[in-house]
Amino acid sequence: MTVPITIRIQEADFDIAREIALLTDGRTDIGAVVSFSGICRGSEDGDPIAALTLEHYPGMAETEIKRHAEVAVSRWALNGLTIIHRFGRIEPGQNIVLVLTASHHRQAAFEAAEFLMDYLKTSAPFWKRTESGKGANWVEARSHDDAAAARWAKT
Amino acid sequence: MKVKYFAWVRERVGKAEETLEPPASVRTVEDLIRWLSGRGEAYAYAFETPRVIRAAIDHAHVRPDATIAGAREIAFFPPMTGG
């Protein structure tokens, strides 16, 4: 059976409960749903921020996320998968990203969600810029994010 | 080919995209970065540290030694910070 994969790149917010319902409604084969939400923090490296602005590469963002979603589906026994990534201006406390993974047993859903987030951080073409009293600044990539993604590489 | 720039690479170059026809001697992504760097101060600034610049050809990540032959769209950007 083909595993349903939903990928959306959007400016608008999302409703986590609604997205979980869309993934699970009418299904009796799902025993676990893992939900990861990335939320805009009110500070970056200790300095308060007013907002983040996310720039993305339309077309490539969808392609790159889909590629990793397909890897996740081939590596773990998933029954469904939803990834939503927002772009535009996002204020502290607001949602940035959602990853939902559904599986028969919990382990596949937990691992696949973590794998997807690690790759979204390092491979999905999105860039964060912070707005603060000091002006606008591009967020720098972190080496521990690269290390987190690298541990999933198959040896 | 169409060349696109994102995030601070876009800001430094001063444009989001342009259509360029590099000479035949420009064969790889790193050749293209070198060629772009010679197009003026804004480009030289954007590409001053080539090792931090990431590239994609037709929406797929590529390494600096990737050939650009046949590419429709090449993008340059800093390391990604989404998620």
Q: Is the dihedral of CA A140, A90, A58, B3 positive or negative?
A: negative
Cβ of A125 within 8 Å of Cβ of B77? The answer is yes
Is residue B55 in some structural domain?
yes
Q: Which amino acid is at A107?
A: Q
Is residue B11 in some structural domain?
yes
Best CA proximity match to A71, nearest among A9, A5, A12: A5
Give A94 or A134, the one with higher predicted confidence: A94
Q: Is B63 exposed, middle or buried (0-12, 13-18, 19+ CB in 10 A)?
A: exposed
| CB proximity list for A31: less than 8 A, separation 6 or greater | A103, A104, A105, A106
Closest residue of chain A to B55, computed from CA coordinates: A125
Residue B7: which of A55, A120, A122 has the nearest Cβ?
A55
Residue B81: which of A63, A117, A127 has the nearest Cβ?
A127
Is residue B59 in some structural domain?
yes
Best CA proximity match to B47, nearest among B66, B33, B67, B32: B33
pLDDT in tens, A1-58: 689 999 999 999 999 999 999 999 999 999 999 999 999 999 988 889 999 999 999 9
Residue A63: which of B4, B59, B83 has the nearest Cβ?
B59
Is residue B82 in some structural domain?
no
Q: Please give the CATH topology (third level) of the domain spanning A5-150.
A: Aldehyde Oxidoreductase; domain 3 (3.90.1170)
Chain A residues inside the 8 Å CB shell of B56: 57, 60, 125
ipTM of the complex as predicted: 0.95
Q: Which of A84, A126, A140, A142 to mutate to test the interface with B (most CBs of B within 10 A)?
A: A126
Domain that holds residue B7: 2-77
pLDDT in tens, B31-70: 999 999 999 999 999 999 999 999 999 999 999 999 999 9
**Number of domains present in the structure of chain B:** 1
| Domain ranges across chain A | 5-150
CATH number, domain with residue B26: 3.10.20.30
- Kindly report the pTM of this predicted structure: 0.94
Nearest-CA distance A107 → chain B (Å): 22
